[in-house]
């Protein structure tokens, strides 16, 4: 059911929650709220099946150990923490890894067609950063299948009638209402500073209106378009996150950017080759001779440098993505072995990803969608020719800061209103809009899992928060919402009429191009303070240029130019947060690699980067903060909770050896497997 034109006065007396974003995280949160009897307004820019979550291909991690590899949720936890270079708070990660098998079973019952073995068991494969086959998958369309299943369940809730606090059915008011085609503009606050709704714009009629909500959940995805060269869709601007940041929400760990080492340039984005390609035996390589310009099929095996297998012999091509991307940067830039259309010494970061040594029948059966997509965009059959790939931004580990509540044993308190709460009362965040689960880098198969688990945690948290409120958003003065609507209508008119008399006004598309060039070059694989200063200077210049922007489209319906200008302003703000955070963190950790600060510094930097908006686009960093949640004052610091696993070396060259020690019961070795087994023997699992 899609509601497009309904008077605000027609809203019933139920305590509604506004969920912004209809991807995997938003749908799971909505489903949990609906099952708890909390009515939801689901606001999204596009229909659910067009959300960026549909591009998730790799699968979902869950330690079932049906293959007899001695895997466990504890080892999954250890690999997640190590993959994130020990910068993720451990109670939420432990809760996620322990809940993962149950989540996969839940999705099965919803109808997700996971691949199976010949015996009928769930099929699993390895993903980057993992030693075990624990990634459940539905071909290479896992995100699409999960979205479809969740979307069907939410549509079921749309047919149910909301019930008020006295148990009276509110005829004509569905439990879930969808508002598709609405772009988030801003948050609405009451006189006490509590978030009581949002303002959004209908992108068909350009109507601006407020949505009341006793709580608001941001599930708006990542911000890859800030970098231009990214695998996300054009929707991944991070605009909603940037706006919430400007309205008082803390942004955390903005410096950590997930760069995928194997992508292919397409018309409007970069196509990420699923990690299933690596799981099935794909191998990265470059010619050993930098001047070798032969076709890749003409280069014999002995003259190929399989650099990941050389650098990380324990896991080879399945190291975490930040290490793989850094290795690509190393061979292309520092060793001068770039590729472009089979020729070397170009300005691009290109290497080969090879599947041609594997049987085509096997590849077509396991990787059909990925191979077809590559062949469609390049005209090259990857079963017979090595694929030319290049790194591109795949996502972000940073996002809105969110809290959690754990007990003395380090276990999450499920249902606590603090779970996934931001520092803004009444505002929650989940999915890639939040920073919670990945630390400094994320391992393959955990991204979709974190969105699903985050939704199962956020729904009950919001339900607890809403039920503890002494007053409802519907009791707030209508003048608050009228004023918020008026501000956004004036902003729409300003952008529409800005510089129309100046026929040489600056193009917003050119500003975006300049922004992406500055940020991608300085804030992705390798950083140094000098280039970050240059990027910040460029951001200052672009901030001034925004005042000279002129839109060519001045129509008052389906005007995407105005929308892009609005998102562009927010992208500039977010770019500053990313660059300032990268300059602020004086160490190398995970995806944040500063050669001038070689190595991890746990004595000083075992903490999250907490950024606060100062006004005029400026950023300040805080070490602690206080906020109010469900009538309680909460004090938190930037220190990382390491209750379950003390930080140790993040090495992958001896993973194979450590894995064998774990299997035979030797609790040593200094690696993931040994630590996991030792912890289990101490009774901490």
The full DSSP string for 279-320 is HTT-EEEEESSTT--S-GGGS-GGGEE-HHHHH-TTTGGGS-
The arrangement of secondary structure in 259-394, i.e. its CATH architecture, is: Alpha-Beta Complex (3.90)
What does the alpha-carbon distance between residue 71 and residue 53 come to, in Å, rounded to a whole number? 28
Q: Is the pLDDT of residue 219 over 70?
A: yes
How do residues 169-191 score in pLDDT, each as one tens digit?
888 889 999 999 999 999 999 99
Q: What is the pLDDT of residue 266?
A: 83
> Active site residue: 321, 527, 566, 583, which one?
321
Question: What are the strands of the beta sheet with 215-218, ordered from one edge?
Answer: 176-180, 40-44, 17-20, 215-218, 427-429
pLDDT of residue 265: 86
Q: Name the nearest CA neighbour of 144 among 6, 27, 260, 235.
A: 27
Q: What are the tokens at 199? A: 């303002």
Count of all residues that appear for the chain in the document: 685
Average pLDDT over residues 609-622: 91
Q: How far apart are CA 258 and CA 590, in angstroms?
A: 9
Q: What is the pLDDT of residues 522-542, one digit of tens each?
A: 999 999 999 999 999 999 999
For the record, the structure tokens of 592 come out as 């944040």
Q: Could you give the percent of the chain with pLDDT greater than 70?
A: 92
- Which one has a higher pLDDT value, 677 or 543? 543
Q: Which residue has the higher pLDDT, 459 or 321?
A: 459
Predicted confidence (pLDDT) at residue 344 exceeds the cutoff of 70: no
- pLDDT(242) > 70: yes
Q: Does 6 score more than 70 pLDDT?
A: no
148 classed as catalytic: no
CA distance 501 to 133: 62
Collect all residues with Cβ–Cβ distance below 8 Å to 109 and sequence separation of at least 6.
none
Mean model confidence pLDDT for the chain: 89
Instruction: Specify the pLDDT at position 367.
Output: 87
What is the tens place of the pLDDT at every residue in 38-82? Answer: 999 999 999 999 999 988 888 999 999 988 899 999 999 999 999
Q: How confident is the model at residue 617 (pLDDT cuts 50, 70, 90)?
A: confident
Which H or E run contains 540? helix 529-545
In this structure, whether the domain defined by 14-258+395-477 belongs to CATH 3.40.50.2030 is answered with: no
What burial class does residue 618 get, using C-beta atoms within 10 Å of its C-beta: 0-12 exposed, 13-18 middle, 19+ buried?
exposed
Domain with CATH 3.90.700.10 in the chain: 259-394
Quote the CA–CA distance of 567 and 650 in Å, as a whole number: 37
In the structure, what pLDDT confidence band is assigned to residue 684 with cuts at 50, 70 and 90?
A: very low
Residue 240: enclosing H or E segment and its boundaries? helix 239-246
Give residue 171's pLDDT: 84
C-alpha–C-alpha distance, residues 458 and 470, integer Å: 20
34 and 171 Cβ atoms separated by less than 8 Å = no
Q: Do 423 and 443 meet the contact criterion of CB atoms below 8 Å apart?
A: no
Q: Would you say residue 610 has pLDDT above 80? A: yes
Lowest mean pLDDT among 394-408, 525-539, 656-670: 656-670
Nearest to 81 by CA among 534, 642, 652, 507: 642
Could you report how far apart the first and last alpha carbons of the chain are, in Å? 45
Enumerate the CATH 3.50.50.60 domain ranges in the chain, comma separated.
Answer: 14-258+395-477
CA dist., res. 572 & res. 619, Å (int): 12
Asked if residues 619 and 100 have their Cβ atoms less than 8 Å apart, the reply is no
At 136-154, the pLDDT tens digits run: 999 888 999 999 999 999 9
| CA nearest to 84, candidates 447, 527, 412, 428 | 447
**Whole-angstrom distance, CA of residue 77 vs CA of residue 645:** 9
Please name the residue that has the structure tokens 């290479």.
140
Cα distance between residue 607 and residue 624, in whole Å: 11
pLDDT at 652: 60
Contact 594, 600 (CB under 8 A): no
The pTM (predicted TM-score) of the whole model is 0.92
**Are 638 and 608 spatial neighbours (Cβ–Cβ below 8 Å)?**
yes
């Amino acid at each position: 059911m899609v509601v497009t034109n309904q008077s605000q006065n027609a809203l019933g007396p139920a305590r509604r929650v506004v969920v912004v974003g209809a991807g995997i995280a938003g749908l799971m949160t909505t489903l949990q709220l609906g099952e708890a009897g909390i009515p939801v307004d689901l606001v999204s820019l596009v229909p659910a099946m067009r959300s960026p979550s549909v591009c998730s291909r790799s699968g979902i991690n869950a330690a079932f150990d049906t293959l007899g590899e001695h895997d466990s949720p504890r080892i999954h936890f250890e690999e997640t923490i190590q993959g994130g270079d020990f910068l993720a708070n451990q109670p939420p990660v432990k809760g996620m890894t322990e809940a993962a098998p149950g989540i996969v079973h839940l999705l099965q019952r919803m109808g997700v067609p996971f691949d199976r073995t010949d015996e009928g068991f769930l099929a699993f494969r390895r993903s980057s950063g993992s030693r075990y086959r624990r990634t459940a998958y539905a071909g290479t369309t896992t995100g699409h299948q999960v979205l479809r299943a969740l979307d069907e369940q939410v549509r079921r809730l749309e047919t149910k009638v909301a019930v008020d606090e006295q148990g009276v059915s509110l005829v004509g008011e569905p439990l879930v209402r969808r508002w598709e085609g609405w772009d988030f503009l801003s948050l609405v606050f009451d006189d006490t500073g509590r978030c009581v709704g949002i303002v959004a714009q209908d992108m068909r009629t350009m109507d601006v209106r407020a949505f009341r909500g006793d709580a608001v959940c941001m599930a708006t995805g990542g911000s890859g378009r800030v970098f231009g060269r990214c695998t996300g869709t054009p929707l991944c601007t991070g605009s909603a996150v940037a706006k919430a940041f400007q309205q008082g929400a803390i942004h955390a760990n903005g410096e950590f950017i997930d760069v995928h080492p194997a992508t292919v340039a397409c018309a409007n984005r970069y196509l990420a080759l699923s990690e299933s390609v690596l799981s099935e035996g794909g191998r990265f390589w470059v010619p050993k001779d930098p001047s070798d310009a032969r076709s890749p099929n003409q280069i014999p095996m002995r003259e190929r440098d399989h650099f990941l297998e050389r650098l990380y012999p324990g896991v080879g091509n399945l190291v975490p993505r930040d290490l793989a991307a850094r290795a690509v940067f190393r061979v292309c830039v520092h060793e001068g072995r770039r590729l472009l259309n089979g020729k070397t010494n170009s300005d691009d970061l290109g290497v080969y990803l090879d599947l041609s040594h594997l049987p085509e029948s096997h590849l077509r059966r396991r990787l059909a969608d990925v191979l077809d997509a590559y062949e469609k965009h390049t005209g090259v059959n990857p079963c017979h020719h090595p694929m030319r790939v290049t790194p591109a931004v795949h996502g972000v580990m940073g996002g809105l800061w969110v809290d959690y509540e754990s007990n003395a044993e380090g276990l999450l308190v499920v249902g606590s209103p603090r779970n996934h709460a931001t520092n803004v009362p009444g505002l929650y965040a989940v999915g890639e809009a939040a920073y919670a689960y990945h630390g400094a880098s994320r391992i393959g198969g955990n991204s979709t899992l974190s969105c699903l688990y985050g939704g199962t945690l956020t729904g009950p948290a919001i339900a607890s928060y809403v039920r503890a409120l002494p007053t409802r958003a519907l009791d707030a003065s209508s003048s608050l919402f009228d004023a918020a609507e008026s501000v956004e209508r004036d902003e729409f008119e300003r952008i529409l009429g800005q510089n129309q008399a100046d026929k040489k006004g600056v193009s917003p598309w050119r500003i975006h191009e300049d922004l992406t060039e500055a940020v991608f070059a300085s804030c992705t694989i390798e950083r140094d303070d000098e280039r970050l200063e240059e990027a910040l200077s460029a951001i200052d210049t672009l901030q001034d240029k925004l005042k000279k922007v002129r839109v060519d489209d001045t129509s008052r319906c389906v005007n995407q130019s105005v929308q892009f200008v609005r998102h562009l302003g927010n992208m500039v703000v977010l770019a500053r947060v990313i660059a300032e955070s990268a300059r602020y963190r004086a160490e190398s950790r995970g995806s944040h690699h500063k050669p001038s600060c070689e190595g991890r510094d746990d004595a000083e930097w075992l903490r999250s980067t907490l950024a606060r908006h100062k006004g005029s686009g400026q950023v300040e960093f805080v070490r602690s903060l206080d906020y109010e949640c469900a009538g309680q004052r909460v004090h938190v610091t930037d220190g990382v909770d390491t209750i379950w696993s003390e930080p140790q070396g993040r090495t992958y060259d001896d993973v194979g050896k450590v894995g064998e020690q774990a299997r035979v019961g030797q609790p040593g070795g200094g690696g993931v497997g040994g630590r996991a087994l030792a912890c289990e023997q101490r009774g901490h699992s």
